[in-house]
Chain A
Amino acid sequence: MSSAKRLALGLGLAAFLAVPLSSCATPPPEDDPEALAAYEETNDPLEPFNRAVFEFNRYFDSFVLKPIAVGYRTIVPEFFRERVHTGLQTAAAPVVFANDLLQGKLERAGITFGRTLVNLVLGAGIFDAATDIGLEYHDEDFGQTLAVWGVDEGAYLMVPVIGPTTLRDGAGMVADIFIDPWTYIFDTDKEVLYARAGLTAADTRERNLETIENLEKTSVDFYAAIRSLYRQHRDDAIRDGELPPVPPVPGARPSVSGDVNPELGPAPEEMAASADD
């Protein structure tokens, strides 16, 4: 695909995403600061539209993605699935490396470079020898780079087939395609790129079979659970695993004595006020 075509595709996608603006969630009135704060925290102005796409994605998942992942696990032994996983990591290393550098994280760039080199030499790119010598894998992408540069995450978006993202991360995903050298190497053999995308999807979904199933089973609002997990997961990736400042959590009873009296909650106003900080 030429760059012009790719650009047109991107614009088309953007237009498609912009169309359902009519189905926006209604912001709460200005005089309800708590509701307003909650609305801003959720930052999901397209929620009704996003929920519709989410339902579509769940169908798509149950009829296409999940069966592929289950089949992949059934047919391919774990040993070979591990080789695929490491192979995909090796292939994705240039993008991680570039984003390490773009974020000014030289040490992490060194780790990415080192582990890829070690795995290529000692493991043909499909055996992870680097982890054993302390060169552990980490992920970086242009969405994270934008965040490090100070770009806000923007509204939450549920993209058909692809899944949860935000304006910033969606833009990052497109940018990563341009950063990726394979895009240019296989410019005339697109099948290779599609095969890699397919394998990545199968690999990721297979590794999360139990997690997603348990989450679906135990959440009272699967859409909201995914939205919260996606945000926190991205924040964790952006902070490279550093814990965020913990929110104030008021105690539900006086902590002065060991004597527990469930009747004694905190003053409700006080609790709610700090809970929404």
Chain B
Amino acid sequence: MTRVLSALARGAGAVLLLGFIAAPGFARAETPESFVQTLGNRAIEILQTKEETTFSEREQKFRTLLLDGFDMLTISQFVLGRYARTLSEQELKDYQTLFIDFVVRVYAVRFDAYSGETFKVDRVLDRVDNDVIIRALIERIGGQPPVRTDWRVRVSDSGTMKIIDVYVEGISMLNTQRQEFAAVIEQRGIQGLMDEMHARLAQDISQSDAQTAVQ
């Protein structure tokens, strides 16, 4: 009997202790880790519906996900680099609207190449100013090595979190986009870049010759 009682007491103590440890976690609703994990889970869910949805349906869901989780204004201005200042207020706005459509399309296409893999936050890699960099691994089916992704999350003073960059196997998407844009702007100006973005959006992406040829 005493044994049961002491076990109960110990149990109660454990519950109490757990309560204390967990309390701060509840107070701060979200950590950068859980923020990235939640976004990753949502992405995997979109991929899992591949069988019963069309690409444009998935693209639409992916758009919501991107707008929720990413700081599109910061990203869109950064990738213009030093050319951003040459734009008028109105031109910048037009560009940003186009950029969001463009990025949704680009990453929806690239992301659609994956299928129901699991997404697992691994650890915090680094903290720089207001940014936290989180490493997450995408486990692949069929024994292929996991894909290493690093998420740069910007935490505002009010606690809002937005992603500003993703590294895939060490390759920064932000950096790649900026360098690619710079090459087009140098040759054909910002209008040339925007024309090219429109052209990409107008392209038929539903067909993939490599994918239709085999598999």
Chain A positions near chain B (C-beta within 8 angstroms): 34, 38, 41-42, 70, 73-74, 78, 131, 136-137, 209-211, 213-215, 217-221, 223-225, 227-229, 232-233, 235-236, 239, 241, 243-244, 246-247, 249-253, 255-258, 262-263, 265-266, 268-269, 271-272, 275-276
Evaluate contact between B176 and A228: CB separation under 8 angstroms.
yes
Interface size on B, residues (CB 8 A): 67
Partner of A275, one of B82, B96, B211: B82
CB within 8 Å for A252 and B145 given contacts A221-B184, A243-B126: no
Contact A220 B193 (CB under 8 A): yes
| CA gap between A246 and B181 in the complex, in Å | 19
CA distance A219 to B173 in the complex (A): 12
Q: How far is the CB of B137 from chain A (nearest CB, A)?
A: 12
Main secondary structure of the interface of A (DSSP, over half): helix
Are A224's CB and B183's CB within 8 A?
yes
A275 to chain B: closest residue by CB: B81
Interface centre among A41, A214, A256, by most chain B C-beta atoms within 10 angstroms, is: A214
Map CB proximity to A onto B73-111 as digits: 1 under 8 Å, 0 otherwise: 110111001111100010011001000000001100110
B125 within 8 A of A: yes
Closest B residue to A246 using CB positions: B128
B165 CB contact (under 8 Å) in A41, A229, A249, A256 = A249
- A-B contact sample (14 more), CB < 8 A, given A42-B183, A213-B208, A253-B74: A78-B142, A213-B209, A217-B109, A218-B106, A221-B184, A224-B180, A225-B180, A228-B179, A241-B148, A241-B170, A243-B167, A249-B164, A251-B71, A271-B84
- CB<8 Å pairs between A and B, sample of 21: A38-B82, A38-B182, A70-B210, A73-B213, A209-B210, A218-B110, A220-B193, A221-B184, A221-B196, A223-B183, A232-B171, A236-B169, A241-B148, A249-B174, A252-B76, A256-B157, A257-B158, A263-B89, A272-B84, A275-B78, A275-B82
For residue A89, give the distance in angstroms from its CB to the closest CB of chain B: 12
A-contact bits for B107-150, CB 8 A (1 contact / 0 none) = 00110010000000000011010110100000000110100101
- A-B contacts at CB below 8 angstroms, number: 164
Selected from B74, B142, B150, the residue in CB contact (under 8 A) with A243 is B150
Q: Give 5 closest A-B pairs by Cβ, nearest first.
A: A236-B170, A224-B183, A268-B85, A252-B73, A228-B179
Interface: B7 (CB within 8 A)? no
Q: For the complex, give the distance between the alpha carbons of A210 and B193 in Å.
A: 25
Chief secondary structure at chain B's binding surface: helix
Q: Is B18 among interface residues, defined by CB-CB distance under 8 A?
A: no
With both beta carbons as reference points, the residue of chain A lying nearest to B96 in the complex is identified as A262
Q: Are B110 and A214 in contact (CB under 8 A)?
A: yes
Instruction: Give the residue name and chain of the A residue nearest to B204 (CB).
Output: A217
B16 at the interface (CB under 8 A from A): no
Q: Which residues of B contact A (CB under 8 A)?
A: 71, 73-74, 76-78, 81-85, 89, 92-93, 96, 105-106, 109-110, 113, 125-126, 128, 130-131, 133, 142-143, 145, 148, 150, 152, 154, 156-158, 160, 164-165, 167, 169-172, 174-176, 178-184, 186, 193, 196-197, 200, 203, 205, 208-211, 213-214
Chain B nearest CB from A262 CB (Å) reads: 6
Q: Which residues of chain B have C-beta atoms less than 8 A from A276's C-beta?
A: 81-82
- Residues of B contacting A228 with CB < 8 Å? 175-176, 179-180
**Which residue in chain B gives the minimum CB-CB distance to A215?**
B110
Measured in the bound complex, the distance between the Cα atoms of B7 and A231 in whole Å is: 61
Task: Report Cα–Cα, A249/B154, bound state, in Å.
Answer: 10
Q: CB < 8 Å: which of A34, A210, A258 contacts B158? A: A258
Known: A214-B110, A246-B133, A250-B78. A255 touches B156 (CB 8 A): yes
Q: How far is the CA of A161 from the CA of B184 in the complex (A)?
A: 25
Q: Report A192 CB to chain B, min CB distance, Å.
A: 28
Complex Cα spacing A220 to B195, Å: 10
Asked if A227 meets B179 with Cβ closer than 8 Å, knowing A243-B170, A271-B85, the reply is yes
